[in-house]
Amino acid sequence: MIHTIGSVGGIGAVAPLGETARKGAGGFADALSEAVRAVEGAQTNADDKLRGVATGQSVDIHGTMIALEEANISLRMMGSVRDKAVEGWQAIWNMPI
Per-residue pLDDT tens for 19-76?
Answer: 555 555 578 889 889 999 999 999 999 999 999 999 999 888 999 999 999 999 999 9
CB atoms under 10 Å from CB of 71, counted, come to: 21
Say if 33 falls within a structural domain. Answer: yes
Identify whether 38 is part of a domain: yes
Q: Is residue 29 part of a domain?
A: yes
Burial environment of residue 52 by CB neighbours within 10 A (0 to 12, 13 to 18, 19 or more): middle
- pLDDT at residue 97, as a whole number: 83
Residue 28: predicted pLDDT:
83
pTM: 0.65
pLDDT mean over 7-27: 54
For the chain, how many structural domains are there in total?
A: 1
Q: What is the pLDDT of residue 40?
A: 96
Q: What's the pLDDT at 1? A: 46
